[in-house]
């Protein structure tokens, strides 16, 4: 571990939005990086010198073999299945300096006072379905292993940036660009918060080089700015240079529910539910957020404008039902 020359990091995940940022920033900071993933997303494009281990996280032997390298830190970004997380915790206990586990602010039980700090009670909560349930279970696993391995749990709000495979800001920009009505779920007045993938990655690298906690520590990765669903649309419209057409729609009237939120059919890519975290505890470690919400949206607009050619707008079934309700066409 530390004291052997170049610091070594193992990254679980690493081929999507957040992972690519973590790997690039770790290499830039002088870390020797090894990435483990299934290879379902091509890992090409990593900086030179990054080692790639193609294996399934359920492969206990492969994970144990990787742990034999005794890295200074493990950065676990693909922490979705509790069984996979437990395999990794078991393999790296006493074989690494510290373990960074990517969790989520979705584990918090919503409170009337915003923002929510790390002491807010945790769920799971119905809004987040299986995703939130598994994240909460991962944190319970981390608590059980914390006497054998220093673990820092990171809890961001919504994470956005280049390479977002859920295309959440693109959803809004496509409708604004087409002059189409954007339906807001229920009131559209919920306060929501976003962290740039570059900032979340920087937090990972910052904490990788920091003194490990005694046992388990939880930190929100959440910049101070937030907005409402309506405010997000207005900000995106201003950056795109168009006038928005916005219509709140009661979800129950078009056969939708936010328990849980579904990506299979929706009218908007964020739920009408408050989601604002207090990120000051991370700042107390010396970390600083660098990306404003306006810059995050502006970057998304620049990428949107750079797309090749015009692409037809495809509405979700619930959007079509909402259009019928107000007497509009797609």
Rounded percentage of the chain residues whose pLDDT exceeds 70: 96
Q: What is the mean pLDDT of residues 21-26?
A: 96
Within this chain, do residues 122 and 96 fall inside the same structural domain, yes or no?
yes
Q: How many angstroms separate the CA atoms of 52 and 44, rounded?
A: 10
Rounded percentage of the chain residues whose pLDDT exceeds 90: 85
Domain contains 126: yes
Domain contains 84: yes
- Quickly state the pLDDT bin for 330 (edges 50, 70, 90): low
Domain contains 1: no
Domain contains 3: no
pLDDT tops 70 at residue 292: yes
Within this chain, do residues 39 and 54 fall inside the same structural domain, yes or no?
yes
Domain contains 285: no
* C-alpha triplet 26, 116, 167: angle, nearest 5°: 55
Within this chain, do residues 37 and 141 fall inside the same structural domain, yes or no?
yes
Within this chain, do residues 251 and 150 fall inside the same structural domain, yes or no?
no
Give residue 171's pLDDT: 97
Within this chain, do residues 96 and 174 fall inside the same structural domain, yes or no?
no
Question: How many separate domains does the chain show?
Answer: 2
Omega of the bond prior to 115 within 30 degrees of 0, cis? yes
pLDDT tops 90 at residue 4: no
Q: Are strands 182-185 and 216-220 parallel, antiparallel or unpaired?
A: unpaired
Give residue 155's pLDDT: 98
Alpha-helix residue ranges (DSSP H) falling in the chain: 17-28, 60-67, 82-92, 129-145, 168-177, 197-208, 229-240, 280-283, 293-305, 317-326
Q: What is the mean pLDDT of residues 138-150?
A: 96
pLDDT tops 60 at residue 43: no
Within this chain, do residues 108 and 256 fall inside the same structural domain, yes or no?
no
Domain of residue 75: give its range.
8-161+195-220
Within this chain, do residues 42 and 172 fall inside the same structural domain, yes or no?
no
Q: Are strands 151-155 and 191-192 parallel, antiparallel or unpaired?
A: unpaired
Domain contains 282: no
Q: Give 248-260 pLDDT, tens digit per residue.
A: 999 999 989 878 9
Within this chain, do residues 149 and 240 fall inside the same structural domain, yes or no?
no
Within this chain, do residues 264 and 153 fall inside the same structural domain, yes or no?
no
Q: Which of 29-43, 111-125, 288-302 has the lowest mean pLDDT?
A: 29-43
Domain contains 284: no
Q: Which of 49-58, 185-194, 294-303 has the lowest mean pLDDT?
A: 49-58
């Amino acid at each position: 571990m530390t004291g052997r020359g170049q610091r070594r990091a193992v990254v679980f995940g690493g081929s999507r939005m957040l992972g690519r940022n973590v790997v690039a920033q770790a290499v830039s900071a002088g870390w020797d990086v090894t990435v483990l993933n299934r290879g379902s997303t091509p890992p090409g494009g990593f900086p030179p010198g990054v080692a790639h281990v193609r294996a399934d996280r359920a492969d206990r032997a492969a994970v144990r073999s990787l742990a034999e390298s005794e890295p200074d830190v493990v950065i676990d970004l693909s922490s979705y299945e509790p069984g996979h997380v437990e395999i990794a915790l078991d393999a790296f206990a006493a074989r690494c300096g510290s373990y960074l586990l990517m969790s989520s602010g979705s584990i918090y039980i919503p409170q009337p006072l915003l923002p929510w700090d790390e002491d807010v009670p945790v769920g799971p909560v119905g809004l987040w379905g299986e995703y939130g349930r598994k994240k909460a279970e991962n944190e319970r696993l981390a608590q059980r292993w914390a006497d054998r391995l220093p673990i820092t749990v990171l809890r961001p709000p919504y994470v956005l940036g280049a390479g977002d495979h859920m295309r959440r800001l693109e959803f809004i920009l496509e409708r604004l660009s087409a002059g189409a009505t954007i339906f807001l779920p229920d009131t559209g007045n919920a306060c929501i918060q976003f962290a740039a993938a570059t900032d979340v990655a920087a937090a990972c690298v910052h904490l990788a080089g920091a003194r490990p906690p005694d046992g388990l520590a939880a930190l929100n990765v959440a910049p101070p700015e937030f907005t409402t669903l309506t405010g997000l649309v207005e900000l995106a419209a201003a950056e795109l240079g168009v006038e928005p057409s916005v219509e709140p729609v009661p979800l129950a009237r078009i056969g939708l529910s936010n328990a849980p939120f579904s990506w299979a059919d929706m009218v908007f890519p964020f739920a009408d539910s408050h989601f604002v975290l207090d990120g000051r505890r991370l700042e107390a470690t010396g970390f600083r957020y660098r990306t404003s919400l306006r810059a995050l949206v502006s970057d998304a607009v620049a990428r949107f404008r750079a797309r090749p050619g015009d692409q037809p707008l495809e509405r979700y079934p619930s959007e079509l039902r909402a259009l019928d309700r107000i007497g509009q066409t797609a």
